[in-house]
């Protein structure tokens, strides 16, 4: 199985500041067609997960442009500019280049 490792696991942020979450995979997620099979999800407290970013860098519908995904191969980053209180929750990366699909451990973003 591909192992996904996120850091940090806890991320306190002051509103208005930016935040960055790293996700590393044990194998390359770069597909032969040139895209990366990496999604980012946010699970807000008490809610189902929601899709933020897919194929490494494509924002899902309705996701604010404060969220951006980057990276390639085995190293990926989710950046949140101008963090808002509504961004609180646990962020997960997930690889989909091979089954079983696997999630990172999650990064808990909290407001200072």
Partner 1 sequence: EEQLVQSGAEVKKPGESLKISCESSGYIFSNYYITWVRQMPGKGLEWMGVVFPGDSNTIYSPSFQGQVTISADTSTNAAYLQWSSLKASDTAIYYCARPIAARAKYAMDVWGQGTTVIVSS
Q: Which one of 60, 68, 81, 88 is in contact with partner 1 (CB under 8 A)?
A: 60
> Binding to partner 1 by residue 54, rule CB under 8 A?
yes
> Binding to partner 1 by residue 110, rule CB under 8 A?
no
Neighbours of 98 (CB within 10 A): 12
> Binding to partner 1 by residue 25, rule CB under 8 A?
no
User: Cα(41)–Cα(106) distance, rounded to whole angstroms?
Assistant: 9
Q: Which one of 7, 72, 77, 96 is in contact with partner 1 (CB under 8 A)?
A: 96
Among 105, 108, 109, 80, CA closest to 94:
105
Name the site residues for partner 1 (rule: CB under 8 A): 1, 37, 39, 41, 43, 48-51, 54-55, 60-61, 90, 92, 94, 96, 99-106
């Amino acid at each position: 199985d591909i192992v996904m490792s996120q850091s940090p696991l806890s991320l306190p942020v002051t509103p208005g500041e930016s935040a960055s979450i790293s996700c590393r995979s044990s194998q390359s997620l770069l597909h032969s067609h040139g895209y990366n099979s990496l999604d980012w999800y946010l699970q807000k407290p008490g809610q189902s997960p929601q899709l933020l970013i897919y194929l490494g860098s494509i924002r899902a519908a309705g996701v604010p442009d404060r969220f951006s995904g980057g990276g390639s191969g085995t190293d990926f980053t989710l950046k949140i500019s101008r963090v808002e209180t509504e961004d609180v929750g646990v962020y997960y990366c997930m690889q989909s280049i091979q089954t079983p699909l696997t999630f990172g451990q999650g990064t808990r973003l909290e407001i200072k």
